[in-house]
Amino acid sequence: MKSQIRVCVNVNCCQRGSREVAATLEKAFIADEVEVQASESCFRFCKSGPNVAVNGAILHHLNPSDAEKRVRAALARRIVKKEAIGTRPLDELDAALDEMMNF
């Protein structure tokens, strides 16, 4: 199955540089079996952006200088999760709940 990377380019993430992150990832993974998409849909973690979903697992605070390294590490872990809160790792739940309460 082809891995999927989605970069949130909704308003908040875009203001934090997600379009540059998306461009960096598109170049970095052009030769890989990985699909990189810019997503207009908000991932609901706006204050932690730019946010990138790697096979459904959300990475926060990416920037063009660390995006490729962090995404490759996430791909190596081969974690497949849906974006629902019930499938998030415990260490991400506190941040997710803080985001939701302050949204």
Chain residues that interact with ligand FES, rule: CB under 6 A: 8, 10-13, 42-46, 49, 51
Q: How far is the CB of 51 from ligand FES (least distance, A)?
A: 5
Considering the complex, state which of residue 10 and residue 55 has its C-beta at the smaller distance from ligand FES. Answer: 10
CA–CA dist 82, 2 (Å, integer):
16
Q: How far is the CB of 43 from ligand FES (least distance, A)?
A: 4
Considering the complex, state which of residue 32 and residue 71 has its C-beta at the smaller distance from ligand FES. Answer: 71
Considering the complex, state which of residue 76 and residue 102 has its C-beta at the smaller distance from ligand FES. Answer: 102
Close Cβ partners of 93 (under 8 Å, ≥ 6 residues apart): 85
Q: How far is the CB of 68 from ligand FES (least distance, A)?
A: 19
Q: What is the torsion angle, in degrees rounded to the nearest 10, for the CA atoms of residue 43, residue 59, residue 38 and residue 66?
A: 150
Where are the extended beta strands (E) located within the chain?
Answer: 3-8, 34-39, 52-54, 57-59
